[in-house]
Amino acid sequence: MSGIRLWNGDIGDLEVDAIVVPATPTLWMTAGAAAAVKQRGGHGIEFEAVSLGPQHPGGAVATGAGTLPCRYVIHAVSLVVDRRTSAEAIDAATRSAMRLADGMGLREVAFPAMGSPVGDVTLEACAAVMLRAIRETLPGCTSVQDVVLALRGARTYEVFQAELERQREPDAVPVVPGAYAGLVGVMDPGAVRQGGAEPDAAAPEPARRDPWSPAPAPGAHRPEHRP
């Protein structure tokens, strides 16, 4: 069964197929979640990432994970050079990371809160954009089954939990409406390292799954499902 789960803890502790970190177009891992991941997993992650840059805002690339317990690190370009971001950039980067993970045949992916506080976007906006992007992308995935939001601190967890509940309502109105035409789809995941092409238009549509269904029971260093 597939699902979206929240977990209060360090994304670097998770034994998942891939963790996502916010990135700038140059892919240097100098601040925020990316810097913490580099410190835990080794500088080789950054060296490999930089060799794949620069990338357009909204794109994503994958590297090895060094000494981290996950298999891959996905660098999602949600920040611009001055490390600021927007709802459009977060939306595009989240969707690109999901498509890339799916094209790589991965099952479980973990995201931090992208763009807050480093990117100067409020937690409320970050939660609204990320959860809607994941909710809309997950049912069309053929490989990705589970998405974990690794959140640090009680306030971050509570904001994402409240937004998750809000979006579960059948008449929920998007907090950030629009198609984000300025950035969505700028980077073709099929063109980046270890990426997967978009599904063939002639292929049958994969069975749609309910992203709100319960997730599998967690194991060691795996996120707990919290109602």
Question: Would you give per-residue pLDDT tens digits along the chain (227 residues)?
Answer: 469 999 999 999 999 999 999 999 999 999 889 999 999 999 999 999 999 999 999 999 999 999 999 999 999 999 886 778 889 999 999 999 999 999 999 999 999 999 766 657 889 999 999 999 999 999 999 999 999 999 999 999 999 999 999 998 765 555 443 333 222 222 233 333 333 333 333 333 334 444 333 333 333 345 544 43
Angle, CA 164 vertex, CA 159 and CA 165 arms, to 5°: 100
Determine the pLDDT at residue 178: 35
Regarding beta strands 60-64 and 146-151, do their DSSP bridges make them parallel or antiparallel, or are they unpaired?
A: unpaired
Instruction: Tell me the residue type at 88.
Output: E
- Classify residue 185 as exposed, middle or buried by CB count within 10 Å of its CB (0-12, 13-18, 19+): middle
Please report the pLDDT score of residue 80 as a whole number: 80
Residue 78 is predicted with a pLDDT of 93
> Domains (ranges, CATH) in the chain?
3-169+176-186 (3.40.220.10)
- Record the pTM: 0.76
Looking at residue 140, its pLDDT comes to: 95
pLDDT of residue 115: 77
